[in-house]
């Protein structure tokens, strides 16, 4: 009787282990079905939609998850994107257009933001004409910051040849303005706000005054990722639009404090100039951008809207 009871107990234990093992195997299977998408970004307010999307996907335990990869320069980020080391990035759209013009297969899926840039100058500069013969910094020739600078100069009857333009890393610009090494700059936020909050300089123009709803950064995807994971690419873009809609001032500030490592006052000031409510890139807006990059000698042969803008999974 005791042997039979022991046998039954042993059988129950074996059965329990088998059931448990099946459960673990099923859990592992579900975990394996989660697609991890690697997205590059710089720690700037222009990248907040990507950061918010990561937060939303994690809260929902969605079938896709974002693995963030932080970069300190646009050059390093674009090298990783162009070579396929990352699936996508929040990037300067002009840099992506330049890469596409060189034959690299990238697609711009959505805007990173609208507006959100300022022209910051030293206290001695009171109007655009005062910049003649002065030194002005931008992060890259292939940038909306270059376009905004040239839009401002054109309004004043000046050209890019009337001042010295240098390229600096965003983090270097506030200190360079403070030291007098440069007389003004335009760059991704919150580095313009830094100068304002610290009384290093003041805003001469915000982007909305020069180019309403200006195009700057975008969610850019590598075509290889789109081809290999079309359904995941589609879900990524859909969720990205939702993330932008979630970014009111309060949510954006909380997210910026978590990821950007800047003082609250700087972030609050910066977020006054930017919005994320409609991140779709229309043909009209893109064609205007393409015309500007040609007019200002930034890209003589920008890709067409049909070739460069992500149209959804095929």
Structural domain of residue 295, as residue ranges? 37-115+214-308
For the beta carbon of residue 47, count every other beta carbon within 10 angstroms: 27
- Same domain? For 186 and 243 the reply is no
Backbone phi and psi for residue 205, each to the nearest 5 degrees, phi listed first: -145, 145
pTM, full prediction: 0.87
pLDDT tens per residue, range 192-211: 999 999 999 999 999 999 99
For 285, counting Cβ atoms within 10 Å of its Cβ (0-12 exposed, 13-18 middle, 19+ buried), the class is: middle
Q: Is the same domain home to 72 and 185? A: no
Helices vs strands, H then E, count in the chain? 14, 12
91 occurs within a structural domain: yes
Question: Which of 210, 243, 276 delimits the end of a domain?
Answer: 210
Confidence (pLDDT) at 146: 98
Same domain membership, residue 298 and residue 221: yes
> What is the Cα 200 distance to its own chain's centre?
26
Residue 2 domain-assigned (yes or no)? no
Residues of the chain short of pLDDT 50, as ranges, are 1-31
């Amino acid at each position: 009787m005791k042997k039979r009871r022991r046998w039954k107990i042993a059988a129950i234990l074996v059965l329990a282990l088998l059931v448990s093992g099946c459960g673990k195997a099923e859990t592992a299977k579900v975990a394996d079905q989660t697609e991890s998408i690697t997205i590059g970004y710089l720690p700037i307010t222009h990248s907040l939609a990507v950061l918010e999307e990561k937060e939303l996907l994690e809260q929902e335990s969605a079938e896709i998850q974002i693995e963030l990869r932080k970069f300190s320069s646009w050059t390093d980020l674009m090298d990783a994107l162009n070579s396929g080391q990352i699936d996508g990035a929040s990037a300067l759209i002009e840099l992506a257009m330049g890469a596409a013009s060189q034959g690299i297969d990238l697609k711009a899926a959505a805007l990173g933001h609208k507006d959100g840039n300022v022209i910051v100058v030293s206290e001695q500069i009171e109007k655009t004409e005062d910049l003649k013969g002065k030194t002005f910094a931008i992060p890259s020739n292939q940038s909306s910051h270059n376009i905004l600078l040239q839009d401002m100069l054109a309004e004043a009857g000046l050209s890019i040849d009337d001042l010295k333009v240098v390229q600096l890393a965003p983090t270097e610009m506030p200190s360079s303005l403070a030291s007098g090494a440069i007389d003004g700059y335009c760059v991704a936020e919150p580095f313009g706000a830094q100068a304002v909050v610290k009384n290093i300089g003041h805003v001469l123009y915000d982007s909305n005054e020069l180019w309403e709803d200006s195009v700057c950064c975008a969610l850019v995807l590598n075509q290889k990722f789109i081809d290999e994971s079309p359904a995941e690419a589609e879900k990524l873009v859909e969720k990205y639009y939702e993330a932008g809609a979630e970014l009111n001032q309060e949510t954006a500030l909380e997210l910026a404090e978590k990821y950007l490592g800047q003082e609250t006052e700087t972030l609050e000031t910066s977020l006054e100039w930017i919005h994320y409510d409609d991140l779709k890139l229309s043909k009209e807006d893109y064609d205007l951008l393409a015309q500007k990059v040609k007019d200002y000698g930034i890209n003589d042969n920008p890709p067409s809207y049909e070739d460069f803008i992500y149209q959804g999974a095929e």
